[in-house]
Structure 1
Amino acid sequence: MSVLYPTLCLCAYGLFSNMRPSEPFLTAYLMGPDKNLTEAQVVSEIYPIWTYSYLALLFPVFLATDYLCYKPVLLLQATSFVVTYVMLAKAQGLGLMQLLEFFFGLATASEVAYFSYIYSVVEPAHYRKVTAYCRSVALFGSAAGSLTGQLLLTVAEVHLVHLVWATLASAAVAFIPPWFLPMPKRSLFFHKKSEGATERRSDYSGALIEKVDNKVPLDKEVVSTVSLSSEETNRSCGLSEVLKMLLADFLHCYRRGPLLAWSLWWALATCGHFQVLNYAQALWEKIRPSGEYDIYNGYVETLSTLLGSLAALLVGHLPVRWTVWGELTLCALSMLMAACVFVMVALRSIWLCYGSYVLFRATYMLLITVATYEIASSLDMQRYALVFGVNTFVALLLQSLLTLVVVDAAGLGLGVFSQFYVYGGYFAVISAVFFFAGLCKVATRRRSDQEVPSSSPADTDGT
């Protein structure tokens, strides 16, 4: 029951907070008669606020989440969702829509509390299973929300504003479960489980890091330190101590080549993925205006989410040695993502655009699952929480720069079609980077294989 109760509460929250029937039709709603905003206002002045606020709030919310022990930040996220959709339903004008995007950025930044809360209330043996439940329910909620919105629009022929009210109702239901979650007594950094755990990280950091990461049994001296952790009481760490700990872990993690390569792809691809997702509806609206034709954005989002989830599940069954062919695989599939983006914008066919979008998202979710596994497999929980957070922060930083230069009215303020040509070229550059990285890796491996046989006769003569 100690595992079941918080898991059920989290799953209920994840289901309803991600069930957003209005999400696939947001651009059409903002540009329609309900809000009467122009394409330039929506694309260049409203949507960029989400990117900037998400970036600005991510690190402070990350620290606040750990310091406040997760539950208060979950409540903050639930409140932000309710405020966002109340404003979306009732508020008018450019300024209030920009404020709405800030609250949605706050809700998005607070998502770290959803996936990290469970680590503080259940035993490590249940981490993988509970995480899988939470992620699956969140994806199901997103797909169900998109499908519900599409069915309400095409079958029931409701107005777009009614989809917003349906999303608000779902957010109101999601506001309830976090109140019933037990309050954690510890966290990863500020409220550590024991004094011994802190001593282990500081006094024996060098030996312990190498042994844990390489799956080597610990020395007796280190084992004795670890065993003391269960006997010590909880302690709180100051901000400076936490920041020093995070810096030390950061320097250790990113010193390794394979982790750095996967993290680089994570940050670069996530930046481009966010941009395509943010502005795909604007592209669809340009190709097939919702005021003149029926639109099927909900079906597309549902299908892309489900196929992306299926692709993520298939990762474990693919006969690929990621440590050997990882860079070249990233090169090939990044080029496929670039081709999908170019097809979306170049051919101007809504059906090819929809199909390319689905393939784009499925490819990304497959690769991000591989990246997640490759990074997490060599790190303990504290370190991969840090690495994933840093990767997301770098992705948002790159996205903010790309948004400022390409999208924002303060920058170039390009039209939607021109933007997608830029995004296609962006993924082509990512592909080129990993093509050369893969060639260098293959060349290095061949040289090392040639050096081993050539050194064998000398070794034999020496004996």
Structure 2
Amino acid sequence: MEALAGLRAPPASGRAPRGRCWVLPTALLCLYGFFANLRPSEPFLTRYLLGPDKNLTETQVFNEIYPVWTYSYLVLLFPVFLATDYLRYKPVILLQGLSLIVTWFMLLYAQGLLAIQFLEFFYGLVTATEIAYYSYIYSIVDLNLYQKVTSYCRSATLVGYTVGSICGQILVSVANWSLFSLNVISLTSVSVAFATAWFLPMPQKSLFFHLVLRSQVSREMKVLDCKNGAVIQDDAALKRVPGWEDIESKVPLNVEEHSAEPQVINYTQGLWEMVLPSQSFEIYNGGVEAVSTLLGAVAVFAVGYIKVSWATWGEVALALFSLLIAAAVYVMDTVRNIWVCYVSYVIFRIVYMLLITIATFQIATNLSMERYALVFGINTFIALALQTLLTLIVVDSSGLGLNIFTQFMIYASYFAAISLVFLVSGIHSVMKNYRRQEEMPSRSTASTP
């Protein structure tokens, strides 16, 4: 949902506010993100739906309920995108908070297949409105604070999810709390987030609507030099690093990876439940989610310090990571041991976070902010469309309605195929870059008088 991460419009003066006026909105947004993601019941959702509280069948949960989230997310994404900009972010953040409250209230008290499907629609609205959270802050702060506030906001959501997962695991395993009680805590947490959102200051400008002196704004649009962090003017005559014109051609690869990853995460709890039913085993879903999230975050942080020419070797690395993901999913599907499943899932999450981070580096490098938003906006929509198609064919009961193990075998094959595509594309990029380097001395010699 970082599609609008590069977008912002200056206030009426044409310049973003400076000084410390960014502290309050950033702190409030981080507080909102923390409580909105502190949901200790989420790692145990499948167990809750299959258990005595809802008493749903496996077919109903996997093939009739979970697909509704994907469909609603796709339908709502574009209108929410427009509404986010037109309404200037804050109202959509409030809508997300309200949707979270409705979702968890229904988790507590709604009964029956149709009611839970309706619940999934509201959760689709929650995910569609995440775009407001990730774009709000850029309409408030100055350009040179983007990296700082982005790290704060993303860290807040990460910490909230991790704390929620750990608390859920402790309350289930040690205190022997019921899953219903965990959902009460989740409802309380998202209610606090909703209350916090009301105190966010209202942005004065947006990108597409409410924008004055557009030509002036366009002239002031800037791009971050990803090599040294310096800010440079975005000009048509600006010299880019060699090969920048190929970056947008890599978008389909990133799209295909992103479309398969939510499928694995969405249905992993179902796979674990089939490997070892929770009625006969003390599950550790919360602990596994917490560990995988933390280790993934550490790995993503560390990759920023690796000295590698990603423009040359990035896709080769992506091929290797995709192959590791395929292996992890395959092991989860075939070994049928819960501890092996847990370890494989942790590896999957860590490697996938690395893969997406590297792919993002490659696409975003030397793109202006307008093009960055366009590329990642299209990326998100197409990935979601592919995920919807995959859900309709593989998961939905109106399609093939395959069992969970067959689904994961398909996902493993999917990642293996993407690995091959990355490898072929990566080898082509390496050869092309080496040819370009060989041609540069001859060109400079020819141009010497």
TM-score normalised by the chain length of structure 1: 0.85
Instruction: Quote the residue 2:159 is aligned against.
Output: 140
Cα deviation, residue 450, structure 1: 6.3
Question: Aligned equivalents of 2:444 and 2:197: distance in 1?
Answer: 65
Give aligned-pair identity as a percent: 53
Q: Which of 209, 214, 224 matches 2:240?
A: 214
What secondary structure is seen at the aligned counterpart in 1 of 2:302? helix
Cα deviation, residue 124, structure 1: 1.2
Provide closer, same or farther for how the CA distance between residues 171 and 455 of structure 1 changes in structure 2, counting only shifts above 3 A.
closer
Is 1:424 aligned to 2:412, yes or no?
Answer: yes
Residues 106-162 of structure 1 show CA distances to partners (whole Å, capped at 9, x for unaligned) of 011000100111111111121110111000010000001111111110011011111
Instruction: Quote the residue 1:372 is aligned against.
Output: 360
Question: Aligned equivalents of 2:44 and 2:238: distance in 1?
Answer: 48
Residues 284-310 of structure 1 show CA distances to partners (whole Å, capped at 9, x for unaligned) of 000111111100000000001101110
Question: Aligned equivalents of 2:427 and 2:359: distance in 1?
Answer: 20
Cα deviation, residue 14, structure 1: 0.2
Instruction: Quote the residue 1:305 is aligned against.
Output: 293
Is 1:344 aligned to 2:344, yes or no?
Answer: no
What secondary structure is seen at the aligned counterpart in 2 of 1:10? helix
Cα deviation, residue 199, structure 1: 6.7
Question: Aligned equivalents of 1:120 and 1:95: distance in 2?
Answer: 39
Range moving further from structure 2, 191-200 or 175-184: 191-200
Range moving further from structure 2, 74-83 or 182-191: 182-191
Cα deviation, residue 452, structure 1: 7.0
| Pairs within 5 Å for 1:17-416 | 17-192=36-211, 194-197=213-216, 200=219, 209-211=235-237, 214=240, 256-261=245-250, 263-416=251-404
Provide closer, same or farther for how the CA distance between residues 124 and 212 of structure 1 changes in structure 2, counting only shifts above 3 A.
farther
What secondary structure is seen at the aligned counterpart in 2 of 1:256? helix
What is the total number of aligned residue pairs between the two structures? 418
The amino acid of 2:126's aligned partner reads A
Question: Aligned equivalents of 2:196 and 2:103: distance in 1?
Answer: 19
Question: Aligned equivalents of 1:265 and 1:302: distance in 2?
Answer: 28
Range moving further from structure 2, 432-441 or 299-308: 432-441
Cα deviation, residue 195, structure 1: 3.9
Residues 408-462 of structure 1 show CA distances to partners (whole Å, capped at 9, x for unaligned) of 01111100000000000000010010111122223334555666789999x69x9
Q: State whether residues 33 and 156 of structure 2, in contact with CA within 8 Å, keep that contact through their aligned partners in structure 1.
A: yes
What secondary structure is seen at the aligned counterpart in 2 of 1:92? coil
Q: State whether residues 213 and 378 of structure 1, in contact with CA within 8 Å, keep that contact through their aligned partners in structure 2.
A: no
Question: Aligned equivalents of 1:443 and 1:294: distance in 2?
Answer: 52
Question: Aligned equivalents of 2:130 and 2:79: distance in 1?
Answer: 13
Range moving further from structure 2, 114-123 or 437-446: 437-446
Question: Aligned equivalents of 1:450 and 1:107: distance in 2?
Answer: 51
* Higher helix fraction (1 or 2): 1
Provide closer, same or farther for how the CA distance between residues 213 and 370 of structure 1 changes in structure 2, counting only shifts above 3 A.
farther
Cα deviation, residue 315, structure 1: 1.1
Question: Aligned equivalents of 2:220 and 2:398: distance in 1?
Answer: 46
What secondary structure is seen at the aligned counterpart in 1 of 2:280? coil
Q: State whether residues 393 and 399 of structure 2, in contact with CA within 8 Å, keep that contact through their aligned partners in structure 1.
A: yes
Residues 81-123 of structure 1 show CA distances to partners (whole Å, capped at 9, x for unaligned) of 0000000000000001111011000011000100111111111
The amino acid of 1:84's aligned partner reads T
Structure 2 unmatched ranges of 5 or more: 1-19, 222-232
Cα deviation, residue 384, structure 1: 1.8
Q: State whether residues 38 and 189 of structure 2, in contact with CA within 8 Å, keep that contact through their aligned partners in structure 1.
A: yes
The amino acid of 1:280's aligned partner reads T
The amino acid of 2:339's aligned partner reads W
Instruction: Quote the residue 2:229 is aligned against.
Output: none
Range moving further from structure 2, 90-99 or 372-381: 372-381
Range moving further from structure 2, 78-87 or 156-165: 156-165
Provide closer, same or farther for how the CA distance between residues 41 and 126 of structure 1 changes in structure 2, counting only shifts above 3 A.
same
Question: Aligned equivalents of 2:336 and 2:303: distance in 1?
Answer: 32
Structure 1 unmatched ranges of 5 or more: 216-254
Residues 47-101 of structure 1 show CA distances to partners (whole Å, capped at 9, x for unaligned) of 0011111111111111110000001000000000000000000000000111101
Cα deviation, residue 29, structure 1: 0.3
Residues 228-262 of structure 1 show CA distances to partners (whole Å, capped at 9, x for unaligned) of xxxxxxxxxxxxxxxxxxxxxxxxxxx9322321x
Q: State whether residues 43 and 279 of structure 1, in contact with CA within 8 Å, keep that contact through their aligned partners in structure 2.
A: yes
Question: Aligned equivalents of 1:201 and 1:5: distance in 2?
Answer: 26
Larger Rg: 1
Provide closer, same or farther for how the CA distance between residues 377 and 447 of structure 1 changes in structure 2, counting only shifts above 3 A.
closer
The amino acid of 2:148's aligned partner reads K
Q: State whether residues 187 and 193 of structure 1, in contact with CA within 8 Å, keep that contact through their aligned partners in structure 2.
A: no
